[in-house]
Chain A
Amino acid sequence: MAKSPPSGKRFPVRTYVFFGVLALVLLGFLWDGSPLGSLAVRKAVTAKFSTVRRVSPDELVAWSRDPNRPPPLLVDFRPPEQYRMSHIDGAVNVDPAAPDLAGLRRVTPETPLVVYDGPGLLGAAMVSGLSEAGFTRVSHLEGGLFRWVNEGHPVVDDAGPTTAVHPINFWWGRLLKSAHHP
């Protein structure tokens, strides 16, 4: 389990805000050497679907452990019942059927977000709402939660660590290792 994040402890939102602002400053210059433009431009950049960055499960783990980078806020973009069964520790649920960004209200737009669903489809709905809300640093977890657990990374439910992951349905469940079927 060397790849596991260090703990199941949640970061307070202000930590995200702090690192988000820091990330804005740092990454804004690192990006292409020019400061970020207006909100409209930022929206345009993030709304352009293909430019959404991808992060693999291992990269996410490394990122979370890297003291030199602002840790990402995880957004679990699945129906609440799937989230309740299990999710990546620290993830905030946004229901695709009724996208409500209330859970992200106190997060600055510059906070890096890593969005995931079950199988890792990168649907426009997953990011457009976030981009329209002004978030500029949206990444997508490659392979979604299925690949995350298939590669041995942990998930939690309200009671703590668990192995079960919601398979969505018969076909999608075929992409999930049987050990993770509820």
Chain B
Amino acid sequence: MTPARAGTAAAALVLGVLGGLSLAAPGSLPRLGPFLDPAHGVFAVARTAELPAHALADIPHLGAPVEVRYDARGVPHIFAAGELDAIRALGYVVARDRLFQLELQARAGAGTLTELVGARALPLDQETRALGLPDAAERSLAALGDTTRGRRLIEAYADGVNAWIDQLARAQLPLEYRLLGRRPARWAPENALHLFNRMGWVLTQSDLERRKAAAAALVGPAAADFLYPVESPLQEPIQPSGLGAPRAGTEPVPEPGPPAPDTVLAMEPAGAPASDHALGSNNWAVGPRRSATGHALLAGDPHLELTLPSIWYEAHLVVPDSLDVHGVTIPGAPAIVIGFTRQLAWTFTNVEADLQDRWLEVVDDATRPARYRLDGTWRPLRTRVETYRGPGGAVLAVDTLRFTHRGPLTRGADGRWVSLRWTVLEAAPALDALAAAARAADARAWLATMRAWAAPPQNLLVADRAGHIALRSTGRFPRRPTARGDHYLRGDTSATDWAGDWTVAEMPQAQDPPQGFVASANQQPVDPAEFPRYLGAGWLSPWRALRINALLRSHDTVTVDDMRRFQTDPRSAAAERFVPAFLAAAAARAGSDTLARAAALLAEWNGEFTVDNRRAVLFEAAVDALQERLWDELAGDGTGSRRAVPRPALVLAWRLLAVPASKWWDHPSTSRVEDRDDVLAEALVAAYHAVRERHGDPAGDGWRWGAVRTVSIPHLLHLPGFGAGGLAVQGGSTTLNPVTAGGGFGASWRMVVELGDSVRAWGTYPGGQSGNPASRRYLDRLPLWVEGDLAPLTSPGTVGAVGESSAALTLRPAP
């Protein structure tokens, strides 16, 4: 097979991953000949899988030698004389272990995947560029200037990455490059910006406007607002409300109504994923008063797509008298993103805020507009030409992008032109904020430094050795003169434009609150009864938030081990609410033996999603069947604007439990009128039949949760044999440790920190430090993660304190 053929085959795999296009059909796999070539095939990959006991390398611009010691868990402890040197070393060690991942992630954000894998990545690159991400990265780079701290950090990181690439021996070339028949590209400093843009895209992309318009085309605007509400119907806010308990909304529920007459289809509807996706995260901290040892405790577990290698890489940076930070970085980021110092610890969850607004623009030409209408005058559109190149440099395609003063302008499926404004495209670079915050003396100073954090907004949680705990939903939240941002806005007037940002004081926050703990799990951050300003709509169901708050309220002497156990707690706040509803419906609609049998089986459940549990499967199936039947109004029929829209969050179904005769319960397709208990009973019976059919006898092993719901962690390229599948893990769709039906999302990093006289930390992630599948460090952390266990994260202060080291690396200034 020629390298080009192999490259094409591997490109199909890349697309399968990045686009979720499932192109990794067996027929497109590369032939094994060159792959098994003893000189530079997979055997070379195996030979270079482990780090040599001693290694030496030169790095340009290094101010002084840097010593690196890898501990038994493969964590590099970097001892440098200056912070920029530490970042150079970080770039070097990350490249050494994760080179292909570095390039792939940066290219995804830069929209240059075609240069690595060829024309089949073109649609992905075109989407990335049409969103204006590379354009924004260029402007961010210009705004950084040549001498700022942020600029020096990304250049230092590039020094390290390129030092590894430049001295890379052919035998050290990672597997993926061999499959693609490519060599790694040199690392540009702005790749860090592309990476942050990519993270911004992953964490803030939303289609609220389209979703609401599509729902309004089926059930009318009031019902659409109910389905993706501005206020979650069940309030358990991040900023403690003082109630000490969740608050149920009492606003009347609008019934499904006649379709809205004028429906915007400004974007082609994508698939219809459920609204409660598994991208989310948990974090919480308890103050000294509620901790068993009298020290503050902090825990965090960000939930992201799980891949091998993992999105996270663990490292420890030490600069005497300046910096001592241990935690995880994302390959390409010149900082520890989540971690701890000798003084404090911090972790993030995503703020599910609405950061994208869309305007229907009036343009001068329906197909090739040059101007747009604003306040009675025509304004020119800014244009930008995007050129897509193949691996050999050949031009694959050229696009002309148009921008209004708001942002990129795209033409929708119905021919209308829509401009997008998105905070990620305007983020002031905060690359140096994380690095600077790691030098903070306490939680207050850390939070003050992180004021510069703009996008993607995060619920920043920090705890320090003095016992302070604090949480703040931090980022750039636009003020909207239109009051809301979940509907398409009029573009021909500047009166609809954003008018400034929330101040730091307005951001949802809590410092050492009387309840003695703080927690977040991507729920609506502040109860609108306290601060009724629009921050977003269509919030995730608050099940994880309810559960962690219930656990923390009921434990007033929390231990480190409690914190660890809570991360994989097997119970669900959704189950507590839905199981009684199913059982009450079964009693109220008694009459079928199957219903009685299903209800009896469900009632046998102890409410836990443990691996050996044999009843959780029935609950998950029943909730799924319930949503399918309840939201039948949203299926659409595919004609005109009547397209299927995504299921609303499960908490909306919970809201309807209190309205048993709502028209939402009735099936439009039947002549009789169904109510809540009819639909609950139907769903339970349907679930019973489905589970019996798929998993056999209720007493059998087929009903074991660990046999039904498993986690799969694919290789970044979905290379067969290099992923880990069928992992039985404690948790369900609505538990603190989310284990969803797709099985590919979950806790990408777990950390618990005790802020005592000395700071002690534990953590793990599902994978290993090495990106080389032949390495023993590729999957070595997986068993611990599957068990919900954590490893001690040791942070030796000096080279001599490292103890037994698995490998040593000395970095010297390049002559």
* Cα distance A50–B603 in the bound complex, in angstroms: 23
Closest to A144 in B: B587
Closest to A121 in B: B596
Contact: A171 with B587, CB < 8 Å? Answer: no
List of A residues within 8 angstroms of B607 by Cβ: 170-171
* Cα distance A120–B586 in the bound complex, in angstroms: 8
Smallest CB–CB gap between A175 and chain B, Å? 6
- Residue-by-residue, is A115-142 near B (CB-CB < 8 Å gives 1, otherwise 0)? 0000111111100000000000000101
List of A residues within 8 angstroms of B586 by Cβ: 119, 121
Contact: B603 with A124, CB < 8 Å? Answer: no
- Residue-by-residue, is B127-149 near A (CB-CB < 8 Å gives 1, otherwise 0)? 00000000000000000000000
Contact: B587 with A174, CB < 8 Å? Answer: no
- Residue-by-residue, is A38-68 near B (CB-CB < 8 Å gives 1, otherwise 0)? 0000000000011000100000000000000
List of A residues within 8 angstroms of B579 by Cβ: 171, 174
* Cα distance A24–B592 in the bound complex, in angstroms: 27
List of B residues within 8 angstroms of A146 by Cβ: 587
Residue from B583, B596, B602, B606 in contact with A124 in the complex, judged by beta carbons closer than 8 Å: B596
Contact: B580 with A174, CB < 8 Å? Answer: yes
Contact: A49 with B591, CB < 8 Å? Answer: yes
Cβ-based interface call for A34 (8 A): no
Cβ-based interface call for B590 (8 A): yes
Interface range on chain B (Cβ under 8 Å from partner): 20 to 34
Residue from B587, B593, B597, B605 in contact with A119 in the complex, judged by beta carbons closer than 8 Å: B587
Closest to A146 in B: B587
Within 8 A of B (CB), among A153-173: 168-172
Known A-B contacts A49-B592, A49-B593, A175-B580; the reply to A121 vs B602 at CB < 8 A is no
Smallest CB–CB gap between B316 and chain A, Å? 46
Smallest CB–CB gap between A151 and chain B, Å? 13
* Cα distance A146–B600 in the bound complex, in angstroms: 15
Smallest CB–CB gap between B585 and chain A, Å? 11
Contact: B583 with A143, CB < 8 Å? Answer: no
Cβ-based interface call for B168 (8 A): no
Known A-B contacts A170-B607, A175-B580; the reply to A143 vs B596 at CB < 8 A is no
Contact: A122 with B597, CB < 8 Å? Answer: no
Smallest CB–CB gap between A114 and chain B, Å? 14
* Cα distance A125–B590 in the bound complex, in angstroms: 13
Smallest CB–CB gap between B506 and chain A, Å? 40
* Cα distance A115–B216 in the bound complex, in angstroms: 49
Chain A residue total in the interface (Cβ 8 A):
23
Contact: B596 with A175, CB < 8 Å? Answer: no
Contact: A50 with B591, CB < 8 Å? Answer: yes
Within 8 A of A (CB), among B573-615: 579-580, 583-584, 586-588, 590-593, 595-597, 599-600, 602-607
Smallest CB–CB gap between B306 and chain A, Å? 32
Known A-B contacts A124-B596, A174-B580, A175-B580; the reply to A168 vs B603 at CB < 8 A is yes
Contact: B591 with A175, CB < 8 Å? Answer: no
Contact: A171 with B590, CB < 8 Å? Answer: no
Contact: A171 with B596, CB < 8 Å? Answer: no
* Cα distance A146–B596 in the bound complex, in angstroms: 16
List of A residues within 8 angstroms of B587 by Cβ: 119-121, 143-144, 146-147, 175
List of B residues within 8 angstroms of A172 by Cβ: 583, 603
List of B residues within 8 angstroms of A50 by Cβ: 591-592
Contact: B602 with A123, CB < 8 Å? Answer: no
* Cα distance A120–B588 in the bound complex, in angstroms: 8
* Cα distance A155–B591 in the bound complex, in angstroms: 25
* Cα distance A119–B598 in the bound complex, in angstroms: 14
* Cα distance A129–B600 in the bound complex, in angstroms: 19
Residue from A121, A140, A142, A143 in contact with B600 in the complex, judged by beta carbons closer than 8 Å: A121
Closest to A119 in B: B587
Residue from B595, B604, B605, B606 in contact with A121 in the complex, judged by beta carbons closer than 8 Å: B595
Closest to B595 in A: A121
Contact: B580 with A122, CB < 8 Å? Answer: no
Contact: A120 with B593, CB < 8 Å? Answer: no
Contact: B591 with A171, CB < 8 Å? Answer: no
Contact: A123 with B600, CB < 8 Å? Answer: yes
**Interface residue ranges, B against A (CB under 8 Å):** 579-580, 583-584, 586-588, 590-593, 595-597, 599-600, 602-607
In the A-B complex, list the 6 residue pairs whose CB atoms are closest, starting with the nearest. Answer: A122-B590, A123-B596, A124-B593, A174-B580, A121-B596, A120-B587
Other A-B pairs beyond A54-B590, A120-B587, A124-B593, 17, CB < 8 Å: A119-B583, A119-B586, A119-B587, A119-B599, A121-B595, A122-B590, A122-B592, A122-B596, A123-B600, A142-B590, A144-B587, A146-B587, A168-B603, A171-B580, A171-B602, A171-B603, A171-B607
- Sampled A-B contacts (16; CB under 8 Å): A119-B586, A120-B588, A121-B600, A122-B590, A122-B592, A123-B596, A143-B588, A169-B603, A170-B607, A171-B579, A171-B583, A172-B583, A172-B603, A174-B579, A175-B580, A175-B583
